[in-house]
Amino acid sequence: MTDWQPQEYLRFCDERTRAARDLLSQVPLARADVIYDLGCGPGNSTSLLVERFPGARITGVDNSPAMLAQARRDCPQADYQDADLSQWSPDEQPSLLFSNATFQWVPDHVQVLARLARSLKPGGVMAVQMPDNLREPSHRLIQAVAEEGAWAGKLAKASSARDPLPEPREYYRRLKQLFSRLDIWHTVYNHVLQGPAGIVQWISSTGLRPYLNSLAEDERQHFISAYQARLADAYPAMDDGMVLLRFPRLFIVGVR
């Protein structure tokens, strides 16, 4: 799979960072000395951590060289590591493990979260947010279009790039014994976008990536056209031509 495209991701920087701000607001720490931003991307979430905990040693972790390069430019106050979170462990015992929209891409991520939780200091916090939107029309229609036409064979692997999130009770069952306090909740965001084309722009740097990366350039254009046409039916325009993209996210905050 080709590398992530930071500029495409940051096209909706405010909307993508909103969930990180909401997650950080629920972190019950007055101060922290060692913080890891897991899946830091282009550094938008890392910048929030630098502002909230100015005296902390903050390290962003990501496996995308392009995202890490952008993060180093935009948030030079932090350190950065290139690593696969499924295998990564912190160099120091953390006060805070923070993750904005990353672990949905990590296989068996509940097990990984449990392993990382054990590395926290007593009283340390794990704060994680993940999109829970594979059941939304925006993502169901990607799969429907992928199963149609000559590209179906090429896209068979792309459809398994990300699995639906487990139910909240599964996170509770597998994580509760590791924390003195564990909170789990959903928030549904409604992002105002410029019609079906705006939804395509939003998803092209995230959920559409595995599909588009599997296609030749001419196939990509046909795929996007077919997908956008289906979106127009699923997301009817409002009077001003805008559409609302319903976007559920799962939040987890645990205190060790």
Residue 1 placed within a domain? no
- Which CATH number do you get for residue 83? 3.40.50.150
Predicted local distance difference test score (pLDDT) of residue 7? 54
Which DSSP symbol is given to 147? Answer: T
Look at residue 35 and tell me whether its pLDDT is greater than 60: yes
3-state SS track over 77-124: CCEEEECCCCCCCCCCCCCEEEEECCHHHCCCHHHHHHHHHCCCCCCC
Question: Would you say residue 123 has pLDDT above 70?
Answer: yes
pLDDT higher than threshold 60 for residue 133: yes
The answer to the question of residue 151 being in a domain is yes
Residue 209 has pLDDT above 90, yes or no: no
What is the Cα–Cα distance from 212 to 255, expressed in whole angstroms? 39
The mean of the pLDDT values for the chain is 92
The total domain count for the chain is 1
Query: pLDDT tier at 11 (50, 70, 90 boundaries)?
Result: low
- Residue at 163 is within a domain: yes
Q: For residues 250 and 235, give the distance between their C-alpha atoms in angstroms, rounded to a whole number.
A: 23
- When pLDDT is averaged across residues 199-218 and rounded to a whole number, the result is 87
Q: What is the pLDDT of residue 157?
A: 79
d(CA 76, CA 60): 11
What residues make up the domain containing 110?
6-255
Q: Is the pLDDT of residue 2 over 90?
A: no
* Alpha carbon distance 217, 151 (integer Å): 12
Domain annotation covers residue 47:
yes
212 is a domain residue: yes
